[in-house]
Each structure stands twice: as structure tokens, then as C-alpha cells.
């Protein structure tokens, strides 16, 4: 576009200068060249306002149209010559040309590609007829004022040679611009879809969390109402108070999980450097779960020579608890859960193996992301906030360890935790 505009401006300047130098009887030739330039500029403006429709471009295009008409009228003013007749023809052709272009613009706006092509096939010969007839007349005028137009001839020839090249370059630039706009639009669409996906995940999370809150709230509301309204014995009162307490604790745990994760993700959780015996944490957690999970025998294979880790025992307890609770939760059909500790040269390994539904390969990483639970008919019925594994990962990574899962479909899952024996200097300094 810039190329076309620059070409038009330069051409107009050259023509103006040369014609000013020429003698008075070269006015006609001047007029023809002006008409030629105006037509080039008009074509450029038609294209520009087609590709970039705007009020400003429309105004420019109307002005360019008017310049062509003015130029033709100037030629028409040469009364008594054949050029006056030619100018009338040109004015008629130009009126048709403008009409066809508004048709193209309307078809382009309506997205009717076939109509655009059809009209373009009408527009192109019109334009070229005008160009050809002007060129022809220019040659005649030139022959009549040969001596004066020596210089102008060379320049106009150069311009005529350059015009298609400039036009091609301009068109290539336009095409490039169109591609860039199209790609930008595609990128915008992608971002929009990502945001939509995120908001869907959030919506699911809110609905899961609300479900998780409502279940213990039902117990709290129900048992407390019975304590208020029913004639109960002291023993029943105590029992229901115990039930309310259990549900209240469940709510509290849920809230603290959510807050923990928020704190961890904001980098606000601090490491500790107390000696921690991972074996005893595993054994204690297993003992707790055995009371409530009869269908899932918990087998331990603990490395007696396991060195103590440095950290916060609450953090490691949460890791073991979440992994064990996960293993049980996602083995609705029962089955043994094995927890194993081992040491190697520089780290301690903890593995938790279940014989549950397993995890599809493509989900092995995703399950550690916040809000993401595997959504299948089998898991939909299992209640969870989707916070357990993200918490595990946050804690393990806080202690510069790694956690990952492996699974063979239908064979259950294995969660692996590797914790380094020696804290890095930066971590120690953060703990202090």
C-alpha cells in the first residue's frame, strides 16, 4: 500500500515537474498524464478502502474518484478536438468502474467471494480500457509535441514499466498484511479457548468444593437439629455431638487443605530443618487408615536403615496421608496398598502402590495440577477436591524432591516420592 502510494506521489511529482518545464502546447499531454496518475491513485484507493474499510479511506477514495473525473473534464475542455469525445467516453467508463467497485466492496463485506471474483472480472477490463485509451491518446499528444516531451517520454516510459512491478509489490504487501491479521485472529481465538477452559475448570472446582462442603454440613445441621428438637438421652446427645464434631473436623480439614495449597502456591510456606523419621510417619499413618479401611489391607516394606530426613514432620505426614488416602479412594473395589521406603546414595524413596483403577498415561502429569481430577464415569462418583496431589507436589518440591506417578491401566497406580538427604544451601538459608 505504502509502495503504491509512494509510487503515485513520486510519479505525480515527476510528471508535474516535467510538464512545468515543457512548453504551453504540452498542456494536453499534461492533462492526459494527470488523468493516468489520477486513475492509478484511484485504483490504489479503491483497493485500500476494500481491504481496510473505514470512513477515512472512503473519503479518500471519493476524493480520488473526483480527481479522475476532474482530470477527464480538463481533457473534455479541449473543445474542437477528438480528445473531448475521448474524455466523455472515459468519464462514462469511469462511472461504470466506480459502480462495479462499490459492488465488489458490498460483496466483500457480505463475504460473497464468487461475486467478488465475478465483479473483478468486469472491473479489470474497464480499468485497463481506460488505461489503454489514455496511453494511446498520450502517445498521440506526445507525437504532436515530440521535441518538448523528450524528457517526459523517458520518465513516463519508466513509470509505465514500473507500474505493474509496484502494483505487484503492493499486492504482495497487502497479502502479507492479510496473513498477519489472519494469524493474529487465530492466536486470539486460541487464547479465548484457553481462558474458556480455565474458567470451566474453575467452575468445576467450585461445584466440587461446594459438594464437599455440603456433605459435612448436612451432618452438622441434621444432628444439631435433632439435639435441639428431639428428646434425647445423655448418651445419644454425646453420640450426636461426636458426629457433629467429626463433620466439623472434615470441614476444617477441607478449608485448611485449600488454604495450604494457596499458601504453598504463593511461596509462603516455610521449610523446617527438624529431624524427621519417615518410617514412623508411614507406620503411624498406615495404622490410622487401617481403622477405617478394612477392604484395603495396608502392607509396609520399610527400610530399617533409613536415615532421618530434615524437614517438618507435619509436611511429610501430609504427603503420606494424601498419597495413602488417594490410593484407597481410587481403589473402590478394595485391594492391598503397599507403602515402601528405601534409601539410595543421596536420597530417600517412598512408593505407594495400589491395585485400583489406575491412571491413563496422558493424565499421569495432569493429576498433580490444581483442580484437575480425572473425569470418567468411574471417578465421578469418588469425592475429592482435586487438591490432595497438588499439595503433595508442592510440599515435595519445597523440599527439593520429586513426585511422579506410574500406572498400567487396570493394574493400579504407583506414586513415587524422592526426597534428597541433604538440603541445598539455599534451602537451609531459607529455613533459618
Partner 1 sequence: MARIVFCEDEEQIRKLIEVAMRATAHRIEMTTNGREGLNAIERVTPDLIVTDLAMPDMNGFALADAVRARSSMRHIPIMFITASVQRGEVAEFASHGAAGYLAKPFSPQALREKIDALLAGAAAVS
Residues that bind partner 1 (CB under 8 A): 207, 210-211, 214-223, 225-226, 229-230, 240, 243, 246-247, 332, 380-383
Residue with cell 469511469: 94
Whether residue 216 contacts residue 251, with contact meaning beta carbons closer than 8 Å, is answered with: yes
Minimum distance from residue 218 beta carbon to partner 1 (Å): 4
Smallest gap from residue 226 Cβ to partner 1 (A) = 6
Burial class of residue 72 (count of CB atoms within 10 Å of its CB; 0-12, 13-18, 19+)? buried
Least distance from C-beta 233 to partner 1, angstroms?
Answer: 13
**Would you tell me how many other CB atoms lie within 10 Å of the CB of residue 109?**
11
Residue 278: CB minimum distance to partner 1, A: 31
* Residues contacting 125, CB < 8 A, separation 6+: none
DSSP 8-state symbol, 399: T
Q: Which is nearer to partner 1, 43 or 212 (CB)?
A: 212
**Residue 352 beta carbon to partner 1: minimum distance, rounded to whole angstroms:** 20
| Contact present, 182 and 45 (Cβ < 8 Å) | no
Residue 229 or 304: the one with the smaller Cβ distance to partner 1 is 229
Residue among 305 and 333 whose Cβ is closer to partner 1: 333
Kind and range of the H or E run holding 404 = strand 402-407
Q: Of 197 and 207, which has the nearer Cβ to partner 1?
A: 207
CB of 227 to partner 1, least distance (A): 11
For residue 427, give every residue at least 6 positions away whose Cβ sits within 8 Å of its Cβ, in sequence order, or none. 271, 399, 400
Residue the block writes with cell 530426613? 309
Cα–Cα distance measured from residue 261 to residue 205, given in angstroms and rounded to the nearest whole number: 14
Closer by beta carbon to partner 1, 149 or else 330: 330
Nearer to partner 1, 163 or 220 (CB): 220
Q: Is 342 exposed, middle or buried (0-12, 13-18, 19+ CB in 10 A)?
A: middle
Amino acid at each position: 500500500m505504502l509502495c503504491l502510494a509512494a509510487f503515485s506521489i513520486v510519479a505525480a511529482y515527476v510528471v508535474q515537474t516535467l510538464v512545468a518545464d515543457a512548453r504551453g502546447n504540452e498542456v494536453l499531454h499534461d492533462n492526459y498524464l494527470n488523468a493516468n496518475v489520477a486513475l492509478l491513485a484511484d485504483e490504489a484507493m479503491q483497493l485500500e478502502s476494500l481491504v481496510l474499510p473505514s470512513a477515512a479511506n472512503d473519503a479518500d477514495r471519493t476524493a480520488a474518484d473526483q480527481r479522475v473525473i476532474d482530470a477527464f473534464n480538463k481533457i473534455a475542455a479541449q473543445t474542437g478536438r477528438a480528445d473531448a469525445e475521448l474524455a466523455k467516453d472515459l468519464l462514462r467508463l469511469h462511472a461504470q468502474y466506480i459502480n462495479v467497485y462499490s459492488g465488489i466492496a458490498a460483496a466483500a463485506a457480505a463475504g460473497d467471494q464468487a461475486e467478488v471474483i465475478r465483479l473483478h472480472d468486469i472491473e479489470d477490463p474497464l480499468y485497463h480500457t481506460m488505461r489503454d485509451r489514455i496511453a494511446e491518446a498520450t502517445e498521440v499528444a506526445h507525437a504532436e509535441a515530440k521535441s518538448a516531451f523528450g524528457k517526459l517520454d523517458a520518465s513516463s516510459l519508466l513509470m509505465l514499466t514500473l507500474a505493474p512491478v509496484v502494483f505487484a509489490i503492493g499486492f504482495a504487501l497487502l497479502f502479507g498484511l492479510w496473513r498477519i491479521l489472519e494469524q493474529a485472529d487465530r492466536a486470539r481465538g486460541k487464547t479465548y479457548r484457553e481462558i474458556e477452559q480455565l474458567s470451566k475448570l474453575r467452575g468445576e472446582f467450585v461445584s466440587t468444593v461446594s459438594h464437599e462442603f455440603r456433605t459435612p454440613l448436612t451432618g452438622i445441621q441434621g444432628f444439631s437439629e435433632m439435639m435441639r428438637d428431639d428428646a434425647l438421652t445423655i448418651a445419644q446427645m454425646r453420640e450426636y455431638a461426636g458426629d457433629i464434631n467429626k463433620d466439623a473436623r472434615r470441614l476444617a480439614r477441607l478449608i485448611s487443605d485449600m488454604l495450604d495449597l494457596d499458601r504453598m502456591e504463593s511461596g509462603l510456606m516455610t521449610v523446617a530443618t527438624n529431624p524427621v523419621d519417615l518410617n514412623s510417619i508411614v507406620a503411624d499413618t498406615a495404622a490410622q487408615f487401617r481403622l477405617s479401611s478394612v477392604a484395603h489391607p495396608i502392607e509396609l516394606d520399610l527400610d530399617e536403615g533409613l536415615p532421618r530426613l530434615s524437614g517438618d514432620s507435619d509436611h511429610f505426614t501430609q504427603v503420606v496421608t494424601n498419597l495413602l488416602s488417594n490410593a484407597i479412594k481410587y481403589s473402590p473395589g478394595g485391594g492391598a496398598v503397599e507403602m515402601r521406603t528405601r534409601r539410595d546414595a543421596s536420597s530417600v524413596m517412598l512408593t505407594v502402590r495400589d491395585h485400583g483403577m489406575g491412571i491413563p498415561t496422558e493424565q499421569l502429569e495432569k493429576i498433580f495440577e490444581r483442580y484437575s481430577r480425572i473425569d470418567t464415569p468411574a471417578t465421578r462418583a469418588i469425592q475429592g477436591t482435586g487438591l490432595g496431589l497438588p499439595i503433595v507436589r508442592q510440599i515435595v518440591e519445597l523440599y527439593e524432591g520429586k513426585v511422579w506417578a506410574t500406572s498400567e491401566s487396570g493394574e493400579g497406580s504407583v506414586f513415587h516420592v524422592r526426597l534428597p538427604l541433604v538440603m541445598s544451601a539455599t534451602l537451609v538459608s531459607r529455613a533459618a
